[in-house]
């Protein structure tokens, strides 16, 4: 199934909801691991993951699952997943901050291009690549592995978390490729003399990149809100 296609609407039966979410997570994992993954793929994946978390929240609200999550024998695994959900929210927040910084860097690069300032453009390119690589650091401290303990719903929550970390990490790895070194990339903005036609072309490319960065910000923000809603629902169940 193509990555840009959305899954069918979520059925109303509890078992069907679970099966639908598990299928969607498998599709997203395949998209994320594809060598042809792009920023558009990442944007679509972020919004689809947000929808997955809405479905997970719906499952939490089912009376049978509320009872199951509150059982003493499930308590430890549920609380562990709750702790990891906070780590995931922090990770999303970090990604949001990095994207905002990178978008500003692209905007600055557009301005120096208009001035035809080779040296300043070189510095902006190096700054973008440096910031994009820095954006990968939070993932080195994040554990995304989903265990096989707990009830089915807890396992689905763990699988969603694992997929979310993988998607955010894939997104961070895509960013340095958007502006490459002056000698080897289509984004070689300072390797030749600036000509009006070339500057106009690069201006359009950078505007497109800036829009893509904005789309990524929107996708991460959407996922961030859904993560918080899901966590609040789980907290309410455990405290009831």
pLDDT band with cut points at 50, 70 and 90 for residue 116: confident
Which residues contact residue 112 at a Cβ distance below 8 angstroms, ignoring those fewer than 6 apart?
Answer: 120, 121, 124
Report the chain's C-alpha Rg in angstroms. Answer: 21
With pLDDT > 70 as the criterion, what percentage of the chain qualifies?
Answer: 80
Best-predicted range by mean pLDDT (25-39, 169-183, 197-211):
25-39
CA dist 40 and 150 (Å) reads 35
In the predicted model, is pLDDT for residue 2 greater than 80? no
pLDDT band with cut points at 50, 70 and 90 for residue 181: very low
Average pLDDT of every residue of the chain: 81
pLDDT band with cut points at 50, 70 and 90 for residue 186: very low
Least confident residue range of 89-98, 150-159, 186-195: 186-195
Q: Does 194 or 73 have the greater pLDDT score? A: 73
Best-predicted range by mean pLDDT (6-15, 39-48, 198-207):
39-48
Structure token digits, residue 224: 């961030």
Tell me the helices (H) and strands (E) count for the chain, helix number first: 7, 0
In the predicted model, is pLDDT for residue 95 greater than 50? yes
In the predicted model, is pLDDT for residue 11 greater than 80? no
Q: Are 85 and 230 in contact (CB under 8 A)?
A: yes
pLDDT (average), residues 138-160 = 76
pLDDT digits (tens, 9 = 90+) for 36-74: 889 999 999 999 999 999 999 999 988 888 888 888 788
CA proximity to 238, closest of 57, 82, 90, 64? 82
Q: Kind and range of the H or E element at 124?
A: helix 118-134
Least confident residue range of 70-79, 113-122, 152-161, 176-185: 176-185
Q: Are 160 and 32 in contact (CB under 8 A)?
A: no
Q: Does 120 or 220 have the greater pLDDT score? A: 220
In the predicted model, is pLDDT for residue 129 greater than 60? yes
CA proximity to 151, closest of 67, 236, 25? 67
């Amino acid at each position: 199934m193509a990555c840009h296609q959305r899954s069918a609407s979520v059925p109303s039966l509890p078992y069907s909801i679970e099966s639908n979410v598990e299928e969607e997570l498998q599709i997203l994992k395949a998209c994320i691991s594809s060598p042809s993954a792009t920023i558009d793929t990442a944007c679509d994946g972020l919004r689809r993951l947000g929808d997955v978390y809405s479905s997970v929240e719906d499952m939490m609200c089912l009376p049978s699952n509320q009872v199951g999550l509150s059982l003493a024998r499930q308590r430890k695994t549920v609380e562990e997943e709750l702790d990891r959900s906070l780590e995931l929210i922090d990770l999303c927040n970090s990604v949001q901050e990095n994207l905002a910084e990178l978008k500003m860097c692209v905007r600055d690069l557009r301005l120096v291009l208009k001035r035809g300032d080779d040296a300043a453009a070189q510095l902006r390119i190096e700054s973008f690549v440096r910031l994009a690589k820095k954006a990968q650091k939070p993932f080195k401290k994040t554990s995304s592995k989903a265990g096989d303990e707990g009830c089915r719903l807890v396992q689905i929550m763990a699988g969603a978390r694992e997929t979310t970390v993988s998607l955010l990490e894939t997104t961070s790895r895509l960013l340095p490729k958007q502006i490459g070194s002056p000698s080897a990339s289509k984004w070689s903005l300072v390797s030749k003399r600036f000509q009006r036609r070339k500057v106009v072309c690069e201006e359009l490319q950078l505007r497109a990149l800036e829009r893509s960065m904005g789309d990524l910000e929107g996708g991460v923000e959407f996922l961030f809100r859904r993560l918080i809603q899901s966590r609040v629902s789980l907290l309410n169940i455990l405290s009831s």
